[in-house]
C-alpha cells in the first residue's frame, strides 16, 4: 500500500490567522509504518498543523502558512472529527474521488472493496453497498470516512480527533482499525485523550505555546518514554493531568 521510502517533511512551518500566530517554526518528519499522536492543550494548534500537512490551510479564510510542507510523491489522506457521508450510496461515497479521477468501473469496485476491508467495515456493509451511507451508525460512518481516504492509497493518514464523538464501543472498533492499518501506513492522530494516545501510538509530539507567540514542538519522542520520563516539566504536568 504505502512506499516506505516516502517522507512527509515539515520545515519551519508557521500558521497564522490574521495577526495571531497559531503554530510557529515547526519542523517534523514522518516516515515508515506506525502511529504518531499529536497532543497538547486546547488551542495549541494541533488541528492547524494537521490541516497544513494535508495542504488544506488554503481553504481556511484569513489563514496564512509560512515554511514548507513537502509530501514528496506520497499521498496524504485526512479524516475529520465529525464523520461526513455524502447523500449517496456506501459504494459511491468510498469511490467518489476515484471516479472523478477517471478510474474504470472495475478498478473503482475493486478499490472500494479493498478500502472497506482495510477500514474494518466490509463484513458489515458488503451486502448493503447500494444503500444510502447516511443510514450507517456513527462508528461505521467514521470508518467509512477512513475507507474513503484509503481508496486513494495514501502513504499517510491524518486524523483529527476521530473518536471524540463516538461511544466507547465504536471508539474501540476505530482504534482497532487504526492499529491494523499502522502496519502498512503512517498514521498521525490528533487526540485530547492521553490514554488513547498511549494505547495507540509509538511516537508522541507535544505542541505548546510557552510564551504567547505561537505553539512549537515542546517534546517529540517514543510514547512510552514520554510517559515514563517526561523530557520537560510542562510535559510532566500535562501528562499527569495537572495542566492543559
What confidence tens digit (pLDDT) does each residue in 116-163 have?
999 999 999 999 999 999 999 999 999 999 999 999 999 999 999 999
Nearest to 132 by CA among 78, 185, 92: 92
Of the spans 45-49, 74-78, 79-83, 97-101, which averages the highest pLDDT? 45-49
For cell 514542538, the residue is 217
Express as a percent the part of the chain with pLDDT over 70.
Answer: 98
User: Residue 4: what pLDDT?
Assistant: 54
Instruction: Find residue 14's DSSP bridge partners.
Output: 66
In the structure, what pLDDT confidence band is assigned to residue 57 with cuts at 50, 70 and 90? confident
User: Residue 196: what pLDDT?
Assistant: 96
The structural domains of the chain, ordered by start, are 7-84+155-239 (3.40.50.300)
Question: Using one digit for the tens of pLDDT, what is the confidence trace for 73-88?
Answer: 789 999 998 888 999 9
Average of pLDDT values for 185-210?
96
d(CA 118, CA 183): 11
- Is it the case that residue 22 has pLDDT exceeding 60? yes
| Rounded alpha-carbon distances, angstroms, from residue 223 to 21, 52, 65, 135, 170 | 27, 23, 28, 37, 24
In the structure, what pLDDT confidence band is assigned to residue 41 with cuts at 50, 70 and 90? very high
Question: Using one digit for the tens of pLDDT, what is the confidence trace for 212-237?
Answer: 999 999 999 999 999 999 999 999 99
User: Residue 3: what pLDDT?
Assistant: 53
- Is it the case that residue 5 has pLDDT exceeding 70? no
Amino acid at each position: 500500500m504505502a512506499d516506505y521510502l516516502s517522507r512527509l517533511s515539515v520545515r519551519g512551518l508557521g500558521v497564522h490567522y490574521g495577526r495571531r500566530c497559531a503554530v510557529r517554526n515547526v519542523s517534523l518528519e514522518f516516515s515508515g509504518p506506525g502511529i504518531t499522536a499529536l497532543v497538547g492543550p486546547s488551542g495549541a494548534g494541533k488541528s492547524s498543523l494537521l490541516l497544513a500537512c494535508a495542504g488544506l490551510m488554503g481553504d481556511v479564510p484569513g489563514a496564512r502558512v509560512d515554511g514548507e510542507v513537502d509530501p514528496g510523491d506520497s499521498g496524504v489522506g485526512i479524516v475529520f472529527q465529525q464523520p461526513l457521508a455524502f447523500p449517496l450510496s456506501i459504494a459511491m461515497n468510498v469511490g467518489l474521488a476515484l471516479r472523478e479521477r477517471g478510474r474504470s468501473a472495475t478498478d473503482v469496485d475493486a478499490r472500494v472493496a479493498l478500502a472497506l476491508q482495510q477500514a474494518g467495515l466490509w463484513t458489515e456493509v458488503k451486502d448493503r453497498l447500494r444503500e444510502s451511507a447516511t443510514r450507517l451508525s456513527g462508528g461505521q460512518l467514521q470508518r467509512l470516512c477512513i475507507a474513503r481516504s484509503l481508496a486513494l492509497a495514501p502513504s499517510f493518514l491524518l486524523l483529527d480527533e476521530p473518536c471524540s464523538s463516538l461511544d466507547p464501543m465504536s471508539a474501540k472498533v476505530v482504534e482497532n482499525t487504526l492499529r491494523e492499518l499502522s502496519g502498512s501506513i503512517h498514521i498521525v492522530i490528533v487526540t485530547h485523550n492521553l490514554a488513547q494516545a498511549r494505547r495507540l501510538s509509538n511516537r508522541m509530539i507535544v505542541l505548546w505555546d510557552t510564551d504567547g507567540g505561537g505553539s512549537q514542538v515542546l517534546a517529540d519522542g517514543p510514547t512510552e518514554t514520554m510517559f515514563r520520563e517526561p523530557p520537560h516539566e510542562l510535559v510532566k504536568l500535562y501528562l499527569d493531568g495537572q495542566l492543559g
